[in-house]
Amino acid sequence: MGLQVKRLGRTFFAEVRNIDLRSMLGNETVAEIRSAWMEHGVLVFPGQLLTDAQQVAFSLRFGDLEEDLIDPTKFIANLGNLDEDGKLRDPASLKSRFLRANQLWHSDSAYFPAAAKLSFLNGRRIAPDMIGGETQWADMRAAYDELPEASRAAIEGKVAVHDMQTSRAKTGRLLSPEERAKWPPVTHPMVRVHEETGRKALYVGSQATCIVGAGEVESQKLFAELMDFATQDKFVHTHVWREGDLVCWDNRRVVHRQRPFDEAKFPRVVVRTTVRGTGPDVIDGKPVDEYARLKAMAA
């Protein structure tokens, strides 16, 4: 029997059963997963406690992987709150404060010229009595479709600067000069066209800094309005983690955030692999930087 896919959320969240992701998957199964994903945007596979190697092997079936930000020799990132010795890490540590930006609505790797395509997050250890610590996703495609005409016109063809420093400034852990040099600001269109479905989605998140050709205050006001609209309850799904859940999402369609929890009390180890985007993004056949430059010249 093939995959069992059951929609859980209103528009974009589905649960997939009857598969073991630790095994070698046939091309047909991978194609089935991909098509479920294109339809739903976010999939949860319960009961998949993977090793790093198994998670990397599975993720590689969907494209090239991004290196870990901290250790570029690895294609997997541990976002958990335990230290190497398995003890709860101090919530005031640099790493914990760096990870706190995950609590802001974002799309993964928006700070790269080729922003992430797909993310896979495996719940390796989740305290059974955990309070909080859920992950939420918002459907930016549905939000774009329902956006009032005036807002849609305000963003059409616009390019925004995205910068890791912007989200870190909001969570109080600024980048060091070395980090700043490693991850400089980049640009992306405000409307992201999905390469596979051709559908448009709003592309804004915590790293959005300003619109090319507009001031920062005005830009941030528009970003806040758009995010308020896009994260209304009707566009959001909240996932309560169980150990062994593997959640996969399409960063071209959804934004996500981690809900707060008592990091000094509950172990929560989630591990991520990320399929690299194919960028740089293009508008009207031109790379966005070039497009933005021509627009600025024409204005």
Query: Binding of Mn ion at residue 163 (CB under 5 A)?
Result: no
CA atoms within 13 A on the CB side of 213: 16
> Closest CB to Mn ion among 15 and 66?
66
Q: Sort 285 into a burial class: Cβ within 10 Å, 0-12 / 13-18 / 19+.
A: exposed
Among 226, 258, 263, 276, binds ligand OGA (CB under 6 A): 258
**Residue appearing with tokens 């799904």:** 237
Q: Which does 122 bind (CB under 5 to 8 A by kind): Mn ion, ligand OGA, none?
A: none
Among 124, 158, 200, 256, binds ligand OGA (CB under 6 A): 256
> Closest CB to ligand OGA among 255 and 288?
255
> Closest CB to ligand OGA among 108 and 245?
108
Query: Binding of ligand OGA at residue 57 (CB under 6 A)?
Result: no
CA distance 72 to 84: 18
CA distance 145 to 226: 13
Among 15, 108, 139, 245, binds Mn ion (CB under 5 A): 108
Among 44, 104, 121, 164, binds ligand OGA (CB under 6 A): 121
Q: Which does 192 bind (CB under 5 to 8 A by kind): Mn ion, ligand OGA, none?
A: none
- Interface mask (CB under 6 A) for ligand OGA, residues 81-110, using x and -? ---------------------x-----x--
Torsion of CA 120, 105, 254, 181, to 10 degrees: -70
Q: Which does 135 bind (CB under 5 to 8 A by kind): ligand OGA, Mn ion, none?
A: ligand OGA
Q: In Å, what is the CA distance from 131 to each residue of 68, 126, 244, 265, 273?
A: 28, 10, 18, 10, 25
Angle at CA of residue 97, ends 135 and 42, nearest 5°: 20
The residue among 63, 78, 85, 21 whose CA lies nearest residue 244 is 21
Query: Binding of Mn ion at residue 66 (CB under 5 A)?
Result: no
Note the residues at the interface with ligand OGA (CB under 6 A): 79, 102, 108, 119, 121, 135, 256, 258, 270, 272
